[in-house]
Amino acid sequence: MQGSFAVIVFLILSVLLNHTITSATPLSFLFSFCIIVLGYLISFTLKFLLGLSAFWVTDFRGIQQIADVLLLILAGFIMPISLFPPLVEYIALLTPFPYMVYFPVISLQGELFPFQQIQVITVQLVWLSILFLAYKVMWRSGIKKFTGVGQ
């Protein structure tokens, strides 16, 4: 919900400040839209997985806070990932976090060429598949644990 408000505010400010979205071609804009949608799906699936951890722990706020801190650092909220030291940048790119926030933003800014956008979409699809498989495994084992206890 917060993300949709952010998109609405971004579009309103773009119109009011007479700033255009800098994606060069309609194809590039379409790729940017796909990257944004896939970023939302990755974010939703990851948050859903964090919620499923409640099958095993009674208080999952600590897990959620760790995920929030990792998101702040590795998704480019604090500073762009391209400004990180090479090792930290490499580690960040191995996580799903930049594909939820950083790449949708720079794609919408027009900083990615179409072939780079296709690469980002491919990696996002891989992360979405991994997280979806993790969801299936966690859901099945969580249901077994929940019904095995008799609750």
Q: What confidence tens digit (pLDDT) does each residue in 103-142 have? A: 998 988 888 899 999 999 999 999 999 999 999 999 998 8
Q: Give the Cβ contact number of residue 8 at 10 Å.
A: 10
Contacts of 70 (CB under 8 A, 6+ apart): 95, 97
The pLDDT, as a whole number, for residue 98 is: 95
Rounded to two decimals, the pTM is 0.80
**What is the pLDDT confidence band of residue 76, given thresholds at 50, 70 and 90?**
confident
Tell how many helices (H) and how many strands (E) occur in the chain.
6, 0
**What is the pLDDT confidence band of residue 29, given thresholds at 50, 70 and 90?**
confident
> What are the structure tokens assigned to 125, written together?
């699809």
Q: Could you give the percent of the chain with pLDDT greater than 70?
A: 84
Task: Count Cβ atoms within 10 A of the Cβ of residue 16 and give its class: 0-12 exposed, 13-18 middle, 19 or more buried.
Answer: exposed
